[in-house]
Structure 1
Amino acid sequence: MLIAGLCGVIASVAWLVGDILLLGKPMGTAAQYPLLTSYDGTARDSLAAMLPASTTRLAWGALLGVLTGPLYLVACRQLRQGLRPAPRLLSVPPYLLIVTGFALAPFAHGSFYYWGQAAKAVHASGVRSAALTGLPGDMAAVLFIPYGVLLACWAAGSVWMAVCVLRGPTVFPRWMCVVNPLVCIPVGALLTRAVPGAAGTAVQGAALSAGNLLFFALSTAVLWKRRE
């Protein structure tokens, strides 16, 4: 369980660095990149951060997440073992839901490279056709589908995991009912937004990775202490 937890910590750090490379540049403006006027919300912010980044930077940002993605699947074994003393009806579903989310995550993370490169190519072409301008939007629509599914899996798995820990018996103490992706990711978002200056800009797109780092760091620390 401890090795699995450390795999989760290592993967989260790698994904955090990947997020910094993908989305950690100061955001471009619509004056610099007219393409941005066609988008709003999360899509606009993501493209505004990726357009100023180099191809090499985007590639390494994506690859760090994709190549270390299997470590997350190993890390989820920690959850399975930690919940195992509880009845299977309580302990197996949250493990399956959370591991499904992590299985989908590398596709979503790696796709940012192609999304960013497509937007950079449209901008560099200087052509303002509807087909070209709509290409990054079409890619974003597909990209956000696995993100929505994985977040739904994490949310459902987190609620089920909390119930399992509260009802017991599990290896985790009952206060660990609040240590799950549904809680840790919003906390990660708050932490990344609280970082000031250039460091805050660097981690502006790293909320999920920061939350997962908090999740696996706490679960590993608890199990380490119980082992002692």
Structure 2
Amino acid sequence: MRARRERRRIRLIGCLVAPLIFWNGVCDSLYGYAAGLSGSDYFSPQIADVIMTAAGRPHWQIMIAQTAGWLYPLYALSLYPWWVGLRQAGFWWSTAPCLLLAYALLMIGGIQHAGWAFLSVLAQAQSLVGSTDPAFHAMANRLIVEHFIMGDFTAMVAFSLGTLWLAAALLRGDTMFPRWFILVSPLAVLIATGIVGSLLPAPIAGWLIAPFGTWFMLIPTITSCLWLWNGSAPLMTNARKAS
């Protein structure tokens, strides 16, 4: 019974949460897509200008971009299949990294994804009413960025530790996933997105790199759900015996 319930939950996450993650990609693109940037440009100061000016997009589009932040509590459920697949390795190689990543996702949704919009507030206001005091504009902009970084600090620490920890758990073995599953882990997806994206020309590069924060959720969610979709019941039984 427990195995069937867990399988139903995994299928529900695969069918409902994974499609919702696509909306995060749309919102990421509203924040960061710029047709004129090549892949290497996205790893240069030029991307900061795109974010700080909202790439000249109208205010209503940036408000829409914030809406994905509402869904991050649901996105955090995408870690459930990973926890199921890792748990027979024990608390420190399953629950601990998944809790770190769940915390990071909740913080990213509340602080980072919603907060990107605030980084462009001054540029949006300047385009609407003008600015006669560049010193004030520069100082206010700096303070906004500093507050954003401070609020996002623990999310980035938890995310970095969680992705490395989860990858180490996969390499260590003793899970429902084969070791090669590290290739679809959040860490590997981030690395692959960065490498491939940096080699792409404009305007294609932005379609891969702008939704940078979407791929590390979407690909691991789809692959973990598919892996556990049908054949997980005997393994779940073994996991209970091992725990």
Band of TM-score, shorter chain: 0.7 to 0.9
Letter in 2 for 1:60: I
Report the AA paired with residue 105 of structure 1: I
Shift of 1:194: 5.1
* Structure 1 residues 14 and 142: alpha-carbon distance in aligned structure 2, compared to 1, 3 A threshold: same
Q: What is the aligned counterpart of 1:215 among 194, 213, 220? A: 220
1:22 to 2:25 alignment: no
Q: Which runs of 5 or more residues in structure 1 are unaligned? A: 29-39
Cα separation, 1, equivalents of 2:58 and 2:180 = 44
Describe the superposition over 1:63-86 as per-residue Cα deviations: whole angstroms up to 9, x where unpaired: 1x1122121122122222221212
Determine which of 77, 81, 85 is the counterpart of 2:80: 77
Alpha-carbon distance change, 145 to 212 in structure 1, aligned in 2, over 3 angstroms: farther
Aligned 8 A contact 1:14 1:68 in 2: no
Deviations 1:143-202 (A, max 9, x none): 233444323222211222223223342221221134322221122234444555444345
Match of 2:76, as an amino acid? L
TM-score in terms of structure 2 length: 0.75
Secondary structure, aligned partner of 1:12: helix
Q: Partner of 2:101 in structure 1? A: 98
Q: C-alpha separation between the residues in 2 aligned to 1:13 and 1:85? A: 31
Greater relative contact order (Cα < 8 A, sep 6+): 2
Residue 68 of structure 2 corresponds to residue 59 of structure 1: no
Instruction: Give the structure with higher Rg (CA).
Output: 2
Aligned match of 1:31: none
- Indicate yes or no: 2:122 matched with 1:113: no
How big is the shift at 1:47? 1.9
Using the TM superposition, name which of 108-117 and 196-205 deviates more.
196-205
Which residue identity does 1:73 align to in structure 2? A
Counterpart code for 1:211: F
Query: Scaled by the length of structure 1, what TM-score is found?
Result: 0.80
Is the deviation greater in 112-121 or in 197-206?
197-206
Alignment of 1:126-205 (within 5 A): 126-193=131-198, 196-205=201-210
What SS does the aligned partner of 2:133 have? coil
- Could you list the runs of 5+ residues in structure 2 that have no partner in the other structure? 1-9, 38-44, 234-243
Aligned position for 1:35 = none
**2:91 counterpart of 1:88:** yes
Number of residue pairs matched?
215
Separation (CA, whole Å) in 2 of partners of 1:70 and 1:7: 13
Residue by residue over 1:100-151, the C-alpha shift from the partner in whole angstroms, topping out at 9 and shown as x without a partner, is 1101111211112222223211344222342223222221222233444323
Question: Would the aligned equivalents of 1:20 and 1:205 in 2 still touch at CA under 8 Å?
Answer: yes
Please state how far the C-alpha of 1:223 moved relative to its aligned partner. Answer: 2.2
Tell me the secondary structure at the aligned position of residue 85 of structure 1: helix
Asked whether the equivalents of residues 82 and 98 of structure 2 are also in contact (C-alpha less than 8 Å), the reply is yes
